[in-house]
Structure 1
Amino acid sequence: MKNYSIITLGASGSGKTIFLASLFKVFSIQGKFGFSLDVQDSSKRMVMNKVFADLTTGEQWPLGTRNISEWALTAYVNNSEISKVPACKITYVDYKGGLITDVSTKDEENYGGYNDLETYVKEADAVLVILDGQKLLSLMQDHDLTNKVVFRWLNEDLSALMQMVDKCNKYIPVHFIISKWDLLEGSYSLPDVKKRLLNNVPEFYNVVDNRRKVSCPVRLIPVSSLGKGFAVLQPDGQMKKLSVNPHPMNVECPLAFALTDKLPNPGRSKQKPFKPTVWDWIVIGLCIALIQPSNGFVLIIAIVYFGFRLLRNKKQRLNEISSSEEAFEQILSKCQEIKKQFNADFPDSDLAKIPSFKSR
């Protein structure tokens, strides 16, 4: 069974913990996306459920991650008997956001954690980089870059993130998640944000361009872990909760891209050969006995019959999932559907398709 290592990078307050909790909530039971995720450690499952419950009912926002932690997830697909068939394992690495920006060589514990984080990045199968949507909103509003908070975010948090991304294998997919997209949506489009980042953040431009040159998947993915209307930005910069009914947006998309972009032929499943049944052989025998050069009616019946059988056989293959390989193939197929819909909604998200940035 395949095992994917996915690490999410982001500064403190960018929304890493909330994204993980929302992702687990969306995939906790198989629904419209065709597969589910479960945590191997039952105590961690309880932690994720509590984090999401605190998000929806508590007045305060949950605390961020305190150290590096691994979440051992298993992806499952239900077969025709609603039994869970394991498809693949996903090791999701989470860490304290300040580990990138607040680290000091005098702090041996933090410094060791930073080195561990570098190792995780270099060995990951996919890297998800969370760009704080609230900070991006300030960047979009600060046309002349005179806001000291924005300037510090660009030159500290974002710069440190890009330096860390540059350490990962250049053939490993890197996707930039724009968190809190509900703050930007309606005022700015994805092309607006993309242009601003490429034109005003040299480190971002260089990371994207280096990966583009080696045809490595890289894109911007707008995400709202709780959905529009759940919270509103206050004048003091704090987020005030308004609703107890979150409606996550696009949280499934980073996972879909992470699982498929590294594969040479993502989503291309191996089809089982068509095996004739006893009735099929009887029909074949009758057709051979009855068919004549001038009798096209029997030929039409044979074409209709076997056309129906092929369609039915295909449908049975989708329903009769018995092995991890078959379950994984179905997940890849579902991920392709998610990607197709996302690309239709956000056609400007793919940064690798930009032929040249010289005119930026």
Structure 2
Amino acid sequence: MRINERRSLGRRLRPYFTVFDLPLMLIICALLSVGLVTLYSAGLGIPGKVEDQMRNIFLAFMVMWFVANITPQVMMRIAVPAYVVAVALLVAVALFGTIKLGARRWLHVGVDIQPSEFMKIAMPLMLAWFFQQRAGHLRWQDYAIAAVLLAIPVALIVKQPDLGTALLVVAAGFCAIFLAGLAWRALIALFVTALASLPVIWTVGMHDYQRDRVLTLIDPYLEPLGKGFHIIQSMIAIGSGGVSGKGWTHGTQAHLEFIPERTTDFIFAVFSEEFGLTGNLVLMFLYLLLIGRGLMIAGNAPNLFTRLLAGSITMIYFTYAFVNMAMVSGIVPVVGVPLPFMSYGGTALLTLGLGAGILMSIQRHRKLVQT
């Protein structure tokens, strides 16, 4: 009888430890492995980086496991409270947040936290819930309300200022609005409006340092030893890698400290210099697999809420990877977006793990969600 009871208990507990989606898990583990190898090289001379990142990875997996065990129905119930709390934290940051490097992005609650990171998940949760409540009878007013729900936190994040995080929140929110059925005519109208407003944004809506980043993007050699120095060195590192790279731990730009933030935002430059074009193609293939798996989960999702949520999380991954690689390569201005599952950092990795857990939950519970 005791043996049967133990087996019965094991059967009951087993589903809680088999929650990980195998294809998604393998892709994430491959990216994390590449990230640790690159971080070891980039962090030579900086003790504790790899150890700290392994701790961050462990915490991210714990978050991923916990969220993967939560059903989409529970996520629907916490969507509105999560959004309200995240907006309240952003308001708190604006009122009495901690200032670092000229930006007010952190809130001290015993430790410093960055509430804008939470909005990357709270925003798609809120919009997915909002459109699920109106499924089948959406009107243009609903899209207008969704745009306001998106604009409120984005405005608070831009004010900090933190354009990188604001861009990720916009990407996730816009993806949810678009997948909910936004007409192409409205999309074209928004695009034309955005183009027409560029002069106003340039003169009124941007800080001096942001305008400098755009000008540096256009011609980094205007100030090769000043504002353009970092992006020039990054492009040199990428180009000097050639086809096969200089070899692991043999990158000169990184180890001679020409590359800024080489363990975080500019880790792609370190990887490119040491592994070359071949390594870049492998890395891009891994990201394509990650995005493809996310889109597959979204396509198999049983209702509007899970479909919009999975699509938005996948768009966050795409925006992370595309903006970081383009930023380091000198294609878009520097906005401070880490490379997903590779850059050193705890908060961003926890957010990515949270997103992966949501995808796994949607995939795992797809047959249990009422259509």
TM-based fold match above 0.5: no
TM-score with structure 1 setting the length: 0.35
RCO higher in 1 or 2 (8 Å CA, sep ≥ 6)?
2
TM-score with structure 2 setting the length: 0.34
Larger proportion of helix: 2
